[in-house]
Amino acid sequence: MRTAVKRFAGHRALSCEIRHLRRLSSRGDCPVRRVQATAHIRARELPYKDRPPAPRWYHQETTVVGAFFSGQDFEIEGAMGDARSTSTTSSGAKRKRAAPVYYAVKLGHEPGIYYSWEDAKRQTAAFKNPILKKCNTLAEAEEFMKSGSYSPARPGKSKYYGVQVGHRPGVYTDWPSVLQQVTGYKGGKQKKFDTWEEAQAYVNEAKGATPSDSGAAISLKGHLESTLSVGATIKAPKKQKKNDGSALAAITNGDFEPGTGPLPPGAEDGFDRTLKLDLATGAVQYKTYAELSALKMQPTGEFEGPLKICTDGATKGNGKIGAYAGLGVWFGPNDPRNIAEPLTGEKQTNQRAELTAIARALDIAPINRSAIIYTDSHYSLKCLTVWFQKWEQNDWKNSAGKPVENKDLIEPILARIRERELSKATTKIIWIKAHNGHEGNEGADALANQGATQRQAQQQMKARAGHSEIDVEPHAVDKPGMGKAHAFAEYGAQEGQAQINGIFGYLPGDADV
Amino acid sequence: MRTAVKRFAGHRALSCEIRHLRRLSSRGDCPVRRVQATAHIRARELPYKDRPPAPRWYHQETTVVGAFFSGQDFEIEGAMGDARSTSTTSSGAKRKRAAPVYYAVKLGHEPGIYYSWEDAKRQTAAFKNPILKKCNTLAEAEEFMKSGSYSPARPGKSKYYGVQVGHRPGVYTDWPSVLQQVTGYKGGKQKKFDTWEEAQAYVNEAKGATPSDSGAAISLKGHLESTLSVGATIKAPKKQKKNDGSALAAITNGDFEPGTGPLPPGAEDGFDRTLKLDLATGAVQYKTYAELSALKMQPTGEFEGPLKICTDGATKGNGKIGAYAGLGVWFGPNDPRNIAEPLTGEKQTNQRAELTAIARALDIAPINRSAIIYTDSHYSLKCLTVWFQKWEQNDWKNSAGKPVENKDLIEPILARIRERELSKATTKIIWIKAHNGHEGNEGADALANQGATQRQAQQQMKARAGHSEIDVEPHAVDKPGMGKAHAFAEYGAQEGQAQINGIFGYLPGDADV
RNA sequence: GGACACCAGAUAUC
DNA sequence: GATATCTGGTGTCC
């Protein structure tokens, strides 16, 4: 029985958390059956014109119900006032429940209050100066989280790194993050300061000269971190009386993505379309079937055809023992749903990276919305559209009579596709030639490489730190500045198709649909 | 069936023509099987001390037999009195032979008499005021070619451009040539005149100040052009009775390279050593095996070991669509055989430039004289010494199973190397590190860049002229003034070796020979 | 044998 | 940072 309590910084963060749980599920670590949580939505004023973030938080309690997965064994439940996630792994209930202790993690991968030191340590791995506190009562932990103080656990040692030129300029509080922003960026500039204000001023020096849209993208990770360490978010989400879409839009676009402008028309907002926020009660609920159908019947405006997602995997040193892999999922230029993350697990191969990328794409694709997944991996496409049929009948043996590799990844993806079918959402997989000028493929490729680099950094840190046995949990990171904002182009020349009972696979040479 | 009749201005020009045909062969346009022609050697007095060239021509008919290529399908034949080249492409015999018409091209890329308008147009492309005439009889064309008149086809429009400061100062009659001399030359000066005398006087204004060896080099192209448009060559080749080498030497060195002093000891004269001029009959013939062997047995004096040639390619914007490439072949400082020419064809890549430079080097290297080719291209060396062996067995597929690139260049080079082997001449290819202070490499590099600039000028002119569809045929151009006159230095530190059945490839790290 | 992908390396050209 | 090109390899399937 593994348990964890988390505090979510806003609706979007909660949405992210649900995704995170799905990701766990996709890894097979802890299959998700049901996701449900109560969120403490919190916001405060944005840092405006060099002004540090306001210390005052606005609060709102809400309950969110996430997706439902079949054949799994994991759930999250929440109670009023704090969001509590309870996970039950298949091997669960082995450890004894100790006296209740709380770990408030203010500067870490995912700030929040955790029940176990294991969980808290995981969140602070790779952070040189994590801000966290061990508390005996929940109230104490909450107080610590709320406090405007930025002093770290060991006062007097805090540092602020201003990244003036880098992938994502801004203020960072740990050196690894700075490295990540600066490495691989031509002419990267960073400087250490003792106060947030100084660092921010340093960052702003260059901001005037930078085009506003260039530095606009804020990564999910950056957001989460900045919520506590740098300061972000603004506009108190005043309680709304009416359940009109504009209110939700105001929260999603304006409030929780500082620096990012309104979404372009037709772009996805990253929220699960099966959910709705009841603004009268503050609760998030499943939309009724009628509501979903209504949306499907009125695709103008909100929906524009199937969701198109590009996936890719990258594995440095593929086949070698020290290989490190990453995966990328690309929805569009600067799309906040874009993810670049390392491949977890021991087996770091290109095929696993490619498959996992598809799995992550299906995590994010709304369960009831048709999706087209673009991959350059013949292997992945064939696995998910052709070969699996034979494998499901011959006990997963390949043509050589040996066990099929990566079954652990393929099966959950198939389950997800079938689940989507039940929601009347088709899932098409289309093959595209790699490195052929395809915008989405190149975007996904860059994201995947970014993810692989993250993995490399992780492993190196682990090695230096004397090999902690805990696998650092990855986080979604946007690709900064993927250039032009135009959406998917036509792909006709480089793709084809092949349909297999509800799942579509597309390869060049097949007839057009 | 493509046909063309050409008139060659002198022995050297014929040698150049043979090279040109070989070049066509190396491009795959029209593989050369056999080269044979009758040349009308022609000469007249040099312009001496501002005196314009004498109008009187001295004539001599002669027959030349060129190289023999294996597995090809092209030949040139000549008859007494006119040099006629007949080419048969593999796809040949498609066009119908029309009533015989002759195009006498006096001012063009390669002056001569052509059978088809297509050929003639090709020779006059990029010339604003080409001097050419359509004739119904060969006699008429010959008469036109012989006429001392310099009036262009449209009389009254003739121009003389004096290039006072430029790559090669002199008098030019077309603006493109002037541009080529001036572009890329710091402080280039040119001026238009109505008469040759005025232009020449303008050119001479600067000559006094210039060191005599600086402007000495005369390019092949310059020679060909000047033969007709500016005037060159002197000393009537009186008929000789005895077949002694000195007579040939007198013609080659003194008579047909005005402005160039005696060749330095050991330097190559650019003529095919397999040929000899029978001065009794005026015919040029293959040397007998005994004669060739005699030369090999008595290398003192005339030969000093293998011919050393440096090659290089340059491609501005390599990989981009608008790239333009050039190639350089360097024999020594101020060596008249040095060539800098643009890369022809659509595919302007660095690799093609490098390979083509080697092909051109082998054009010039006497077929029976061992040669060492220095290249900084790992790719070229490996192609020609290692990889081709596998490719010839696996139908030219690279390790990825894809067709090998640039096969069209590699195969003819290999054919040439084997042809040389039959003449008992070894061909070594030695790799040298680029930009490492190697005199020859730097010389070739400069020549290659010059060639690339020529290509750029060509394309720009083509674009301005409304995109003529004909690819302008390139010409060899010397690099003026490559500085110090000392020959090849030692290369020990930067090279190695690896021998493969008769063809030698040298790379650093291999054992020394 | 085929296919797609993922790398590693090398040289040159920009 | 990129392309031009090749060599070598693994990951996976048919």
Using the structure, give the distance in angstroms from the CA atom of A352 to the C1' atom of D10, rounded to a whole number. 13
Task: Taking residues A344-349, report their average pLDDT.
Answer: 95
Is residue B406 located within the same domain as residue B353? yes
Structure tokens at A477: 């990171």
B230 lies in a domain? Answer: no
pLDDT of residue A400 exceeding 70: yes
What is the per-residue pLDDT across A258-315, written as a single tens digit (0 to 9) for each? Answer: 222 222 222 233 333 334 433 333 334 444 333 333 332 333 334 568 999 999 999 9
Least confident segment among A323-327, A504-508, B59-63, B503-507: B59-63
- A350 CB neighbours strand D below 7 A: yes
CA-to-CA distance for A77 and A84, rounded, in angstroms? 6
Q: Is the CB of B316 under 7 A from strand C?
A: yes
- Predicted confidence pLDDT, tens digits, chain B (513 residues): 222 223 333 333 344 344 444 444 443 333 333 333 333 323 233 333 333 333 333 233 333 333 333 222 222 322 222 222 322 222 232 222 233 455 565 554 444 555 555 555 555 454 433 445 565 656 566 555 544 322 222 233 344 556 676 655 566 555 544 555 555 445 556 766 665 556 666 666 654 333 322 222 222 222 222 221 222 222 222 233 333 333 222 222 222 222 222 333 333 333 444 444 444 443 444 444 344 433 333 333 345 689 999 999 999 999 888 899 999 999 999 999 999 999 999 999 999 999 999 999 999 999 999 999 999 999 999 999 999 999 998 889 998 999 999 999 999 999 999 999 999 999 999 999 998 888 999 999 999 999 999 998 888 787 777 644 444 333 333 333 332 222 232 233 233 333 334 567 766 644 332
Encode pLDDT of A193-229 as tens digits: 655 556 665 665 554 333 322 222 222 222 222 221 2
Percent of chain A with pLDDT strictly greater than 70: 32
B461, B485, B501 - which closes a domain: B461
Does B434 contact strand C, using a CB cutoff of 7 Å?
Answer: yes
Lowest mean pLDDT among A327-331, A352-356, B118-122, B473-477: B473-477
* CA–CA distance, B330 with B316 (Å, rounded to integer): 20
Helix (H) or strand (E) holding B107: strand B102-107
Neighbours of A176 (CB within 10 A): 17
Q: What does the alpha-carbon distance between residue A304 and residue A296 come to, in Å, rounded to a whole number?
A: 10
CA of B192 to C1' of D3 (A): 42
Residues A427, A311, single domain; the answer is yes
Distance in angstroms: CA B500, C1' D6: 18
B450 and B329: one domain?
yes
Nucleotides of C under 7 A from a protein CB: 2-8, 10-14
Give B222's contacts (C-beta < 8 A, 6+ positions apart). B168, B170, B477, B478
Question: In this structure, how many other beta carbons lie within 10 angstroms of the beta carbon of residue B241?
Answer: 9
What are phi and psi for residue A70, nearest 5 degrees? -95, 150
* B325, part of any domain: yes
Q: Using H for helix, E for strand and C for coil, what is the string for A108-144?
A: CCCCEEECCHHHHHHHHCCCCCCEEEEECCHHHHHHH
CB atoms within 10 A of CB A389: 13
Domain boundary residue, one of A204, A239, A270: A204
> Which neighbouring-strand residues pair with A329?
A311, A339
Phi, psi of A342 (to 5 degrees): -75, 155
pLDDT range class, residue A23, cuts 50, 70, 90 = very low
For residue B291, being part of any structural domain is answered with no
Residue nearest to nucleotide C5 (CA to C1'): A377
Please indicate, yes or no, whether residues B447 and B320 belong to a single structural domain of this protein.
yes
Residue with minimal CA–C1' distance to D8 is B399
- Which positions ≥6 away from B46 have C-beta within 8 Å? B53, B231, B232, B233, B234, B258
Residues B410, B334 share a domain: yes
Question: For residue A154, is it within any domain?
Answer: no
Identify whether residues A120 and A180 lie together within a single domain. Answer: no
Is any atom of nucleic acid chain D found less than 7 Å from the CB of residue B401? no
The residue ranking higher by pLDDT, A139 or A446, is A446
Asked whether residue A385 is assigned to any structural domain, the reply reads: yes
Structure tokens at B19: 């090279």
Range of the structural domain that residue B142 is part of: 102-146
CA-closest candidate to residue B295, choices B365, B368, B367 = B368
Residue at shortest CA–C1' distance from D5: B379
Name the β-bridge partners of A307. Answer: A371
Looking at the fold, whether B195 and B119 belong to one and the same domain comes out as no
Does A140 share its domain with A178? Answer: no
Å from the B348 CA to the C4 C1': 29
Which has more pLDDT, A468 or A240? A468
Q: Say what the pLDDT of residue A67 is.
A: 33
Distance in angstroms: CA B325, C1' C13: 10
Q: Does B347 contact strand D, using a CB cutoff of 7 Å?
A: yes
Return the exposure string of A128-146: e unless at least 16 CB atoms fall within 10 Å of the residue's CB, then b.
ebbbbbebeebeebbebbb
Cβ B347 vs Cβ B466: under 8 Å = no
Task: Please state whether strand D lies within 7 Å of residue A167 at its CB atom.
Answer: no
Nucleic strand C within 7 A of Cβ B313: yes
| Count of structural domains, chain A | 3
Protein-covered nucleotides on strand D (Cβ within 7 A): 1-14
Q: pTM for this one?
A: 0.48
Q: Domain containing B453 — which CATH number? A: 3.30.420.10
| Strand D atom within 7 Å of B391 CB | yes
Do B197 and B171 form a contact (C-beta atoms < 8 A)?
no
What pLDDT is stored for residue B194 in this prediction?
62
Check which CATH number belongs to the domain holding B128 and give it: 3.40.970.10
Are A412 and A319 in the same domain?
yes
Name the residues in A406-435 having a C-beta closer than 7 Å to nucleic acid strand D.
Answer: 406
Find the Å distance, CA of residue A350 to C1' of nucleotide C2.
Answer: 20
Number of C-beta neighbours around residue A402 at 10 A: 9
Q: Which of A308, A315, A313 is nearest to A337 (CA)?
A: A308
Interface confidence (ipTM) of the complex = 0.47
C-alpha–C-alpha distance, residues A64 and B108, integer Å: 82
pLDDT value of position A43: 29
pLDDT at B171: 61
Q: Taking the C1' atom of D14, which residue's CA lies nearest?
A: A399
pLDDT higher at A330 or A216: A330
Q: Which amino acid is at A62?
A: T
> Are B446 and B402 contained in the same domain?
yes
- State whether residue A490 is helix, strand or coil: coil
Is residue B398 domain-resident? yes
- DSSP per-residue codes, B10-34: SHHHHHHHHHHHHHHHHHTSS--SE
Q: Nearest nucleotide by C1' from A354 CA?
A: C5
Residue B28 covered by a domain: no
Within 8 A by CB and 6+ apart from B14, the residues are B8, B37, B39, B41, B64, B83
Q: Is residue B221 part of a domain?
A: no
Q: Is the C-beta of residue A313 closer than 7 Å to nucleic acid chain C? A: yes
pLDDT of residue A507: 72
Average pLDDT estimate for A418-422? 94
Report the range of poorest mean pLDDT among A79-83, A101-105, B458-462: A79-83
Are B330 and B450 in a shared domain? yes
Torsion angle of C-alpha atoms A374, A377, A378, A382, degrees rounded to 10: -70
Do B114 and B196 sit in the same domain of this protein?
no
Look-up of token digits 């000495």: B216
For residue A393, say whether its CB is under 7 Å from any atom of strand D. Answer: no
